[in-house]
Amino acid sequence: DGVVEELPRSRPRPAAMPPVSAFPTVFRSALALAVAAACAASTPGIQAAVIEDSCDSPQPTWSLASADTAPRMLAHDRNAAAARRGSAGERFVIDASAGTTLTVEIPIGNAGVIDELAAEVWVRSNRPNIRIAAKVRLPHFPVSASGQPVEVLVPGTRSQAIDRWQRLTVSGVPATLRRQLPALHAQHGPHGSLAGAAVTHIVLELYSSPGRYEVAIDDLRVEGVVERTGGAGPRVGDFL
């Protein structure tokens, strides 16, 4: 699961690469991105990119998302005490009641679902069992009640230690979605497909029990990003 590491906060951060102009301006600004063009090794002809958020800029980029725990936000900022390295990290302090769901997330655009897509982020928390996930939108899986596309989480690794930095990773999104397909058909009907699937957010699932959550986040990296524009995207098996 998560790799545990303690680094001295004085360690310098590598210089960020400039953003790629193909990404929307708002998206670049919100994430303080460094995006570098690269070829996806096992998907010939597809130009992928790397997204990085070093959390050094003053404006937070993560936000509270799904929750059924009546969360009370006590603090949400960026400061030096929350940094793994560099000048700052992003911090949440949240009180949560009994429930099942408490998540924070960061948008990454509309990334095509390909084998090369993988994300990692470093977290430190007063609680274990924080899990990273990729949020995937399925535009050809309409929810019968609302008519909105289905959104599913593809889970990654969980944290284990308390108050120590750990690297969480998520990958293998296409294979996981295919394994989830029978359950999606059972829940939403037999006619939905994985066509047009896109990863829209990287998510941290926080909830384990009622109480206070103190979470520091740093050094997000997402590889293998192929932006879908106007529904277009790479032809990769079921995910055209």
Average pLDDT per 10 consecutive residues for the chain, totaling 240 residues = 50 38 38 38 64 96 96 98 97 97 97 96 98 96 79 97 97 96 89 92 97 98 87 46
E strand map for 97-148: 102-112, 118-125, 131-142
E strand map for the chain: 3-5, 34-39, 47-53, 63-67, 72-79, 89-96, 102-112, 118-125, 131-142, 149-158, 165-170, 198-205, 211-225
Q: CA angle, 97 as apex, 205 and 67 as ends, to 5°?
A: 40
Q: How far is CA 84 from the centre of its chain?
A: 18
Residue 44: what pLDDT? 52
Would you say 110 and 196 are in contact if contact means Cβ atoms under 8 Å apart?
A: no
Distance, in Å, from the CA atom of 42 to the CA atom of 174, rounded to the nearest integer, reads 14
Q: CA angle, 215 as apex, 152 and 133 as ends, to 5°?
A: 20
- Helix or strand run (H / E) with residue 173: helix 173-188
Residue 48: what pLDDT? 85
Q: How many Å is the maximal CA-CA distance in the chain?
A: 54
pTM: 0.80
Residue 45: what pLDDT? 55
Residue 80: what pLDDT? 97
Residue 188: what pLDDT? 85
